[in-house]
Structure 1
């Protein structure tokens, strides 16, 4: 799709116009008078076993072959969603910042490409508190980067990471996640409000509890009349096995069984409703549709 083309997607997204932006600000979509754009924060570099470790090796092999995947490190995109309705400028998640991975942390460049300064952000809404979603909330001087913004996090997610026992319970491979989350949450505590499952956190934006990846993981339905989009965070964390075999447990999820239940139900809902999906780690800017494919599903980039 080139810069001058504008396409329209069917189903519930029939009124949603989609056009590409420069790669650093990945793709833009219209929802009534509002717009949503995905902003690249670079990509992660993960060992394949981080996701595939718990999966049945023999059954996994043909799926990996279908997607051209091997045992080499995975490099999933990091796509933040920016929503603007003329009153509010809402950033879903804050990216990795400069200290998590050298391949991530490009959000400021993406914001600049989209013509948005950090001080323009009115709300930062978190899906969850893993490093690639939270650590970018502070600048290089450990001050809040989005100084004018209200910060919104699900009540259960906040309490989980705020709990001093979490660092001991989460396991040694994720202990640094807990320490890093607590430090950043302390810095934004006075600017943070909480919400619960089903709350309308801003006009037209409703919170949807999608637990398992983390205990209090939240997704968001953004609606304008009969049109809607769904910001899924890491409830659907890849475009291959998560779609082809959503019931398989993934090593990237903290509660693997619960995450698989959540993922299966969510993909069924999105495929049935024809709702446009914004996925944090999905390819081609993360915007697309969910389609049934045999016993599973497939991601169709918009």
Structure 2
């Protein structure tokens, strides 16, 4: 019988094989995480490169080096002996040019801007003078370096423009400018000596003239009453000459022009002061101008003007009373 077990023979015990251990999935998760982080790092690097290439780099200006380069390029070599730059004009006249004002504007998150003014005096001692103003700023074009905006030769003053005759101030949130005192005439006993305020500022790719108005007038002909009488006699003669204008001959017309050029002086000692507005916006605010002194031997009536800025023309509107002739 098949179900009978023979003596001495035991039934074989079945061998059970344990199931293979389950693989843990955390290793796969680590690999996924590292891959994602790698992609993010590459994306961040690409974004940083794009941003760096699209945004202008902030530039810090070396003040001394930039001024020296601009002055040498414009006026010629620096003379250590004369302590200035020696410029020779078209007529071969030498001038000694020096920097009379400089200011570097630093702003958070913005590149530097450099402003300076120069004054040139003839080495021949003939009274010829000029002045110039400069702005050095970063180029707005991508990859650009520094650009210069300047008006380097302004022959407007009979006396040199010195440091105390220059004011540099903020006119708006975007505009800095110079106010320079420029003088015509030197001897008040024989001619009218007038000082005018000349306001200049960079505008686009040029230096703009924002305003020119009176700062002071001096004339000392002697006795003020006699000077007034002489002027009245001259005025009547000019009126009489004008009444004959239509029938006048060429010599008479020339005589009338000569009389216009020989107007007698009258006593004057006038002073105009100005004040800029607080900086509150992108456009320059109004200027407040006041006058005091004497004119023609009598006290001037106190008066104040408010000069408004024309943003389209980029100039101040100057009333006739303040206009420099």
TM range (shorter): under 0.3
Relative CO higher for 1 or 2, CA cutoff 8 Å, sep ≥ 6? 1
Query: Higher Cα Rg: structure 1 or 2?
Result: 2
Higher helix share: 1
**TM-score, normalised by the number of residues in structure 2:** 0.20
Higher strand share: 2
